[in-house]
Amino acid sequence: MRYSLVDLKLVVAIADAGNVSRGAARCHLAPSSASLRLRQLEESLGAPLFTREARGVSLTRAGRVMLEHCRRCLAELEQMHADLAPYAQGVTSQITLFANSSAIASFLPDDLGVFLRAYPDVRVSLEERLSHDIVAAVAGGRADLGIVTWDDEHPDLAFHPYRSDELVVVAPDGVALGRRGAVRFADCLAHPFVSLWSGSAIHTYIVGKATAAGRPLDVRIQVAGFPAVVSLVRAGAGIGIVPRSVMRNLNRDGVAMLALDERWATRRLSVCAPRDPARITGPVKALLAQLRDHDDGTAGAAARGPRKARR
């Protein structure tokens, strides 16, 4: 089937207005023209989208499905226009950067801010991904650079030290957990967890460690970001595991922060880039240099240590 953008906009307008005439007016159509378009669309789909009522229309089940897809399609088109608009205003390049949740929540915003002030005509598309997905995306050309927790090698990629971080446990004040400011992961598993949503890098990593320990992870509630994790821990919903770096900018009143006494709690971030210099444009090379300038020394030393892939 072929769908007209006018028809998609008309479905949304009628659904929002609850009336064919008012929906037609929002699309700058005559009511008769809108009615004809709607009837032809329903005939081609083989299902009614609206139920005609005395004071307007209401969506059928098929109509609700259609409306969801119409909104999604129109939103994607708006995003396309937004992504292309900077080029009409003199933007010279766009960089696609994938990073894991730890980097996005801690070090990366400040570093990108410095870069974007130095290169005002460059745009950066930043997306959160798991480290193994980032490596595949950079290798496959879907991303220009990636920031990962990854100590393995790849034939097509070079890994440059970026930052070092560690996972810590946050718990409500007064909860008996660990000794002398540190706690083993096995002891944490006796408590309910406040976690990021499933699919986030940290959540996937912690669930994997619990599975390896042969214990279930009791996830009491899942939220979208680290500030919400800490707020719910403060409220007594459970304990959480977060990067130490994100705690620098969060209110720590009412929560205790304990070191996670596990070797895998240390997380060393690297920037992965194509080995082939022909794949690295000038702006990408400049961003790579900006990120490499912030290696704190420990990441470089760690890169020469035991090699083991992480999420």
CA distance 191 to 130: 26
* 74-119 pLDDT tens trace: 999 988 887 777 667 666 688 999 998 889 988 999 999 999 999 9
Q: Which pLDDT score, from 0 to 100, does residue 299 have?
A: 46
Q: Which pLDDT score, from 0 to 100, does residue 75 have?
A: 92
Task: Report strand pairing: 122-128 vs 93-99.
Answer: parallel
pLDDT averaged over 10-residue windows placed end to end, the chain, 311 residues: 88 95 94 94 94 91 95 90 72 85 89 93 88 94 93 92 94 85 93 90 89 92 93 95 90 92 92 94 93 62 38 43
* 6-51 pLDDT tens trace: 999 999 999 999 999 999 999 999 999 999 999 999 999 999 999 9
Kindly list the structural domains of the chain, giving each domain's residue range(s) and its CATH number in brackets, ordered by start.
5-88 (1.10.10.10), 93-163+269-303 (3.40.190.10), 165-266 (3.40.190.10)
The CB-side HSE value for 161 (13 A sphere, CA atoms) comes to 16
Give the global pTM.
0.65
Q: Which pLDDT score, from 0 to 100, does residue 83 have?
A: 73
Q: Which pLDDT score, from 0 to 100, does residue 145 have?
A: 97
